[in-house]
Amino acid sequence: MHSLGLAEWFELFAHFLLLSLLAIGGGIVVAPDMHRLMVTQMGLLTDAQFNASIAIGQAAPGPNVLFVAVMGYQAAGLLGAAATLTGIMLPSTVLALVASRWGRARAEWRAVRAFKTGMAPITIALLFATGWILSAASPNAASVAMSIGAALLVWRTNVHLLWLIAAGGVIGALGWV
Domain total in the chain: 1
Going 59 to 60 to 62 to 63, the CA torsion angle's sign is: negative
Q: How many CB atoms lie within 10 A of CB 159?
A: 12
User: Which of 17 and 175 is assigned the larger pLDDT?
Assistant: 17
- The top-scoring range by mean pLDDT among 26-30, 58-62, 75-79, 116-120 is 75-79
Q: What is the pLDDT of residue 45?
A: 95
Tell me if 30 is assigned to some domain: yes
Tell me if 76 is assigned to some domain: yes
Structural domain of 20: 6-119
Is pLDDT above 70 for 138? no
> How far is the first Cα of the chain from the last one, in angstroms, to the nearest whole number?
29
Determine the Cα–Cα distance for residues 67 and 51; give it in Å rounded to an integer.
10
Reported as a single tens digit per residue, the pLDDT across 102-117 is 999 999 999 999 998 9
Reported as a single tens digit per residue, the pLDDT across 46-68 is 999 999 999 888 888 878 888 99
Percent of the chain at pLDDT exceeding 70: 98
pTM value? 0.61
Is pLDDT above 80 for 24? no
Tell me if 36 is assigned to some domain: yes
Tell me if 106 is assigned to some domain: yes
Q: What is the pLDDT of residue 164?
A: 86
Phi, psi of 4 (to 5 degrees): -100, 145
Tell me if 74 is assigned to some domain: yes
Tell me if 169 is assigned to some domain: no
Q: Cβ(29)–Cβ(66) under 8 Å? A: no
Q: What is the pLDDT of residue 140?
A: 78
Tell me if 126 is assigned to some domain: no
